[in-house]
């Protein structure tokens, strides 16, 4: 499998990439795409069963993969994933902080402390502590890239998902701050901000609610394209943002939204 794509923009041969939330959704599809392009992977996810199934599948195709289950709200988990990259592959070139959770649609006055705490524990601490350990490891290789997964909810108001929006705004703040600090070290740090996309979080999780079809119709109506995104459409942009040939882009929060942000 390694290195089958030779276009410089898409060739990740010899690159060691860490992905959190890799058991499903964007993370799983990105892992497949990077493995096809020659990357060695360190994959993390809270759920061990889908994570290990993905790792086994990629290994059967010839990829070098380390899989390690854990909760990114724990600093120790974030550190252990980076340690695994260094121990197994001799270093780390790129990282994708993709792990995240949503919460059910609820108006602002009904949000509670537990919901807010859990959003920040996973969506913010997972990025902050991820970068804390990823940055020195990537700098030790002479530079590279970090991509944090935010959301369109991190770029503007997001009715009924206020705690999620607050956490995803924080992801962009962390991204821009770290990008400025690390730019002189040839370490690029960006965020991607997808609109609602057909991932398990939207199709099966809290955002789907009890009336999935009605909720998704509402989501689609909010986009000029009048549809939700497809995971492959988001992953295509993730590959561009991570590309070793993309060397002058940092500190950006990139909307992939079917035109929503053009309003």
pLDDT at 95: 98
Look at residue 204 in the predicted model and tell me its pLDDT.
64
pLDDT digits (tens, 9 = 90+) for 227-260: 888 899 999 999 999 999 999 999 999 999 898 8
Rounded (5°) CA angle 231-123-25 = 20
Asked whether residue 260 is domain-assigned, the answer is: no
The percent of residues in the chain predicted with pLDDT above 70, rounded, is 93
> In this predicted model, what pLDDT tens digit does every residue of 182-191 receive, in sequence order?
999 999 999 9
Residue 154 belongs to a domain: yes
Cβ–Cβ < 8 Å for 23, 51: yes
Q: What is the span of the domain harbouring residue 106? A: 16-197+231-255
Average pLDDT, the chain: 92
206 band by pLDDT with thresholds 50, 70 and 90: low
What separation in angstroms does the CA of 192 have from each of 49, 107, 140, 175, 215? 27, 26, 25, 10, 23
Identify the three-state secondary structure at position 158.
coil
Contact status, residue 166 vs residue 109, Cβ threshold 8 Å? no
The answer to the question of residue 217 being in a domain is no
CATH number of the domain where residue 50 is located: 3.40.50.720
pTM of full prediction above 0.85 = yes
The proportion of the chain whose per-residue pLDDT surpasses 90, expressed as a percent, equals 78
CB 238 within 8 Å of CB 30:
yes
For the question of residue 133 being annotated catalytic, the response is: no
Residues 6+ apart with CB under 8 A from 109: none
Q: Which residue has the tokens 């058991």?
A: 23
54 falls within a domain: yes
Of 133, 164, 195, 196, catalytic: 164
Report if residue 144 sits inside a domain.
Answer: yes
pLDDT class of 3 with cuts at 50, 70, 90? very low
The predicted pLDDT at position 132 comes to: 98
Structural domain count, the chain: 1
d(CA 258, CA 237): 13
Domain membership of residue 163 (yes or no) is yes
In a domain, 9, yes or no: no
124 neighbors 174 (Cβ within 8 angstroms): yes
128 lies in a domain? Answer: yes
Min mean pLDDT across 63-67, 144-148, 161-165, 223-227 is at 223-227
Quote the tokens at residue 165. 């929006």
């Amino acid at each position: 499998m390694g290195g089958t794509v030779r276009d410089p923009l898409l060739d990740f041969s010899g690159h060691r990439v860490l992905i959190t939330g890799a058991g499903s959704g964007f993370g799983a599809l990105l892992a497949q795409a990077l493995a096809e392009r020659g990357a060695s992977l360190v994959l993390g996810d809270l759920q061990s069963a889908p994570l290990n199934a993905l790792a086994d599948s990629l290994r059967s195709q010839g990829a070098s993969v380390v899989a390690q289950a854990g909760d990114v709200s724990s600093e120790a988990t974030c550190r252990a994933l980076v340690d695994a990259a260094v121990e197994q592959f001799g270093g780390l070139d790129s990282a994708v902080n993709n792990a995240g959770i949503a919460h059910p649609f609820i108006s602002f006055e009904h949000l509670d402390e537990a919901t807010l705490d859990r959003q920040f524990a996973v969506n913010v601490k997972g990025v902050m502590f991820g970068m804390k350990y990823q940055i020195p490891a990537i700098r030790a290789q002479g530079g590279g890239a970090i991509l944090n997964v935010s959301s369109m909810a991190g770029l503007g108001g997001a009715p009924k998902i206020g705690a999620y929006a607050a956490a995803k705004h924080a992801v962009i703040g962390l991204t821009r701050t770290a990008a400025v600090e690390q730019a002189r070290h040839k370490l690029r740090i960006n965020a991607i901000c997808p609109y609602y996309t057909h991932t398990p979080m939207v199709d099966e999780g809290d955002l789907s609610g009890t009336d999935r079809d009605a909720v998704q119709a509402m989501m689609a109506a909010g986009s000029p394209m009048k549809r939700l995104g497809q995971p492959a459409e988001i992953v295509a942009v993730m590959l561009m943002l991570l590309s070793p040939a993309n060397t002058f882009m940092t500190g950006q929060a990139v909307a992939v939204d079917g035109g929503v942000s053009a309003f």
